[in-house]
Structures are given as structure tokens and as C-alpha cells.
Amino acid sequence: ALIAILAGDGIGPEVTAEARRVLEALDLGLTFEEAKVGGAAYEVAGHPLPPETLAVAERADALLFGAVGDPRFDGLERAHRPEQAILGLRKAFGLFANLRPARLFEGLEDASSLRPDIARRIDMVIVRELTGDVYFGAKGRGTTEAGLREGHDLMRYDEEEVARIARVGFETAMRRRRRLLSVDKANVLETSQLWRDVVIEVAKEYPDVALDHMYVDNCAMQLVRDPGQFDVILTGNLFGDILSDQASMCAGSIGMLPSAALGATGKGLYEPIHGSAPDIAGQDKANPCAAILSAAMMLRHSLGQAEAADRIDAAVAGAIRDGARTGDLGGSLSTRAMADAILDRL
């Protein structure tokens, strides 16, 4: 299989290099092709997601993404800013399902700002819709009748968009504790009311899964109060953006958490949830675990290699359990040394 390596900006290149090293060590006959994305692409090609990169992504079976974001380009108008690369890739390949596991690794109980007894129980997956909602609805700037400037973005979903992500939610729940929590704001939003109606309809296809609903504001509270209560959370693009970041932080080390963006075909995009961290870029300090665990998700979801994925997961958990720590975890291992600790356990 062909893997596109879209390393991006900041620490992206460092951590994806280690993820690639781990994949190579497993000898799965993968081939790799690198392409620029984000600020790194804007710099050479004048666009954060240039056609050359799209072409590489097009022919690849899966995309291993690093991180995008570079303060040098913060002043650009939105269409040219590094983050547009990730929105563009999601849309170009119909990657509508974002899987974001959040769990606390044994040994990292003290990394969370939550009390250890509360943090220890965190083990959830957020299933976030990724190509609809207010992110991709009609948007623009205008002038009101009174001559005032205004800005608008249409929040919307149709029943097919909701049903297909709901199925991903129910399937995920089937592989776990058979409980699905759908999060919306149905007391205020019509979009949410449609969302809720359709999720309830799809639930009939999954009689073994217990479905519940929660308002997004309450969910943000409960994620602080007792995150251990959650197993699989299903939600829309905007609420998922907020809640999944919150949940990751509850689990303590955002340097540990991977994510997947999946579509209707097997192709997926895999990326650490952390950003480009320009402050430590190029210093061999970044934690490569999230990128390495993203590679494991890729093996599992795009390449049918669940066993190899399990081996990587176990090696990361083992290295952490045995005390391997980069700076973000309170240790002093370099990016490369941390990856070595994982490779040793493969």
C-alpha cells in the first residue's frame, strides 16, 4: 500500500518521521511518498494544499498527517492560512467521520489537571462529523439594510449526512460497551432536532446499542465533572471540535492522542491531535507517541492490519508504563529516543 506522508509544519516533520520509522520496522511492504502541506506548502507553492499534494494524496491508500500552523502565516487571509489544508483534505476525500479516542495511559495519572481518581477512568471515543455543519454551510460577509457590516455561516445537516455518521457511531459502540451518547443542542437548534430525529431512526438498525442524548452545554460540564461516565460520544462538526479537544485535555497529555478521519472508501487521514508547536520545532523534543498511535489507527482502519496496530499500541503503552517520557510528560527523552523506546518493545 502507498502511504502519503503530509508532515506539514513545526514539529510535524519530526513526529511523522518517527511514525514512518515504526511502520517500516514492521516490514509490512508499505511504500511512502512525501508531499508538502500547510505553511510549508504555502512557502514553496503559494497555497497550503497545492495540486501536487492533492495528487499524491489522491493516489495514496492512506494519509499520514503531521500538523499544520505557522505563526509567520497568521496574517494571511483565511483561504491561504495553513489550517485550510486540513479542511481541504477532509472535503476533497469526503472524510466525514472523525474518530478521536481519549484515554489516560497507565503511568500518566499525574499528567491530567483532573484529580487522579477521576482522570484514571477516562476511556472514550468521540465520533465527530467532519464535512458538514456550520463549517461548510454557505458563509460570507455582507451589509444589512441599515448599512451595518454583518457576517454569517449557515449551520445545516441533511438526513444522509447525519445517518452515515450515526452509523459510524453505532458501529464504534458495537465494538465497545454498546452505549452511544448523541450530543446536540436540540432545545435551541433545528439542525440539532433533525440530528436527533435521524439518530433515533438509525438506532433501530442497532437494537443492541443503548442510545442516549445530552445537550452540548451539559456535556461540557460532565466532561469536567466525571469524564469516566462516557464511552462513545457522537456529535456534529462544531460541537465535536470543542468537546474532543476538551476531552483530550482531561486525559492529560495531548502528546499521546491520535485521530482518524475516514470516508466511505478505505482511504483515511491520520493525525496526532496536537498542533505544530512552533516553539519546540526542530529541537528533537516533541512527543512522537500521538503520531505513532495515528499510524496504528491507519493500519487498523485503512490497511486491514489490526494485529500490527495492536502491536504498536501495546509498545507505546509499554514504553510509557516503563517510564519513557518526553519533556511534555515531565521527562527528558528526545523525540528519537522516545521512538526508540517504542521500537524496542515492538
Ligand X SMILES: CC(C)[C@H](C(=O)O)[C@@H](O)C(=O)O
Q: Of these partners, ligand X, its own copies, none, which one is at the site of residue 321 (CB under 5 to 8 Å by kind)?
A: none
Minimum distance, C-beta of residue 86 to ligand X, in the bound complex (Å):
6
Is position 151 an interface residue for its own copies (rule: CB under 8 A)?
A: yes
β-bridge partners, 203: none
- Active-site residue flag, 217: yes
- Active-site residue flag, 157: no
Cα-Cα-Cα-Cα dihedral sign, residues 111, 112, 118, 121: negative
DSSP per residue over 52-90, as a string? HHHHHHHH-SEEEEEE---GGGTTS-GGGSTTHHHHHHH
- Of 114 and 269, the one with the shorter C-beta distance to ligand X is 269
Catalytic-role residue among 61, 153, 231, 241: 241
Q: Of these partners, ligand X, its own copies, none, which one is at the site of residue 86 (CB under 5 to 8 Å by kind)?
A: ligand X
Alpha-carbon distance 182 to 185, whole Å? Answer: 10
Is position 314 an interface residue for its own copies (rule: CB under 8 A)?
A: no
In the bound complex, which residue of the shown chain has the CB atom lying closest to ligand X?
A: 83
- Active-site residue flag, 245: yes
- Active-site residue flag, 215: no
Is position 160 an interface residue for its own copies (rule: CB under 8 A)?
A: yes
- Of 82 and 315, the one with the shorter C-beta distance to ligand X is 82
- Active-site residue flag, 204: no
User: Which residues of this chain interact with ligand X, rule CB under 6 A?
Assistant: 83, 86-87, 187-188, 217, 241
In the sheet that holds 97-103, the strands lie side by side as 31-34, 2-8, 62-67, 268-272, 258-262, 97-103, 123-129, 232-235, 179-184, 210-215
Catalytic-role residue among 9, 36, 133, 135: 135
Binding to its own copies (CB under 8 A) within 115-134 occurs at 115, 118, 134
Burial class (CB in 10 A: 0-12, 13-18, 19+), 14: buried
Is position 79 an interface residue for its own copies (rule: CB under 8 A)?
A: no
Question: Binding residues for its own copies, per CB under 8 A?
Answer: 78, 81, 83, 87, 113-115, 118, 134-135, 137, 139-141, 144, 148-160, 185-195, 197-198, 216-218, 220-226, 238-239, 241-243, 245-246, 248-250, 254
Q: Which residues are catalytic?
A: 135, 185, 217, 241, 245
